[in-house]
Amino acid sequence: MGNEITASTIGQVIDWAYDKAVNGLPGMGTAEDLGTEYLTNNGNNPVEAANSLIRWQNTKAATSGFLSGLGGLITLPVTIPANVASVMYVQLRMIAAIAHIGGHDLRQDRVKGLIYACLTGNAVMDVLKDVGINVSQKLAMNAIKNISGATLIKINKAVGFRLLTKAGTTGVVNFTKAVPLIGGIVGAAFDGVTTNTIGNIARDAFVVNGLASEPASNEMTTA
């Protein structure tokens, strides 16, 4: 792989980071643990819990010490900068925790697929459309009846390409260009704006517009 990073490489790291977010890293709680903690601390109010979690990710969790600490814990499946993978892990863990706050099963393919898509921020609707999932106007978990394993793979690839597109290029980018595109970090800095956007989209999808772990129907919510 050398000093090059491709959409396929990003896809592998997405899968790795999600597995670690759901199952935990040494010294780090799982996404479910994180979601439960914030839900409990916010009076079991899902929206307040999600908002509190997003604020925390933009402050304490965004410090260089937090990210560099993660770097010492991870063993990556592919050659990619540890800080890039750390940010992806932090953001996926945040999205997954928000999904858990909304009462969703993190091991369902349709939940996992939407979590992956949320990683692209404002491009989430386009990613879903690219893989054949049409969601009109309002992104909601209970608007997506099912995402198969095959569709999940397509979402993974689409997310990889979207993240590359953020770097203003297609195909292959150098590591130095890859660092700002995932999570927006330059050196030890962390792009709080990107994380805030991702968090807000995840909150709307899984908590505000997706109030049940299983959809009652195929219709979009109007709340």
State what percent of residues in the chain have pLDDT above 90.
32
Does 49 have pLDDT greater than 70?
yes
Q: What DSSP state is assigned to residue 18?
A: H
For residues 140 and 176, which has the higher predicted lDDT (pLDDT)?
140
Q: What's the pLDDT band for 68 if we cut at 50, 70, 90?
A: low
Tokens for 182?
A: 């995932």
For residues 178 and 24, which has the higher predicted lDDT (pLDDT)?
24
Q: Look at the chain and count its residues.
A: 223
| pLDDT at residue 74 in the model | 62
Residue 36: exposed, middle, or buried by beta-carbon count in 10 A (0-12, 13-18, 19+)?
A: middle
Q: What's the pLDDT band for 135 if we cut at 50, 70, 90?
A: confident
Mean pLDDT (the chain) is 75
| pLDDT at residue 71 in the model | 57
Q: 184 in helix, strand or coil?
A: coil
Q: What is the tens place of the pLDDT at every residue in 89-129?
A: 888 999 999 999 999 999 999 899 999 999 988 888 888 88
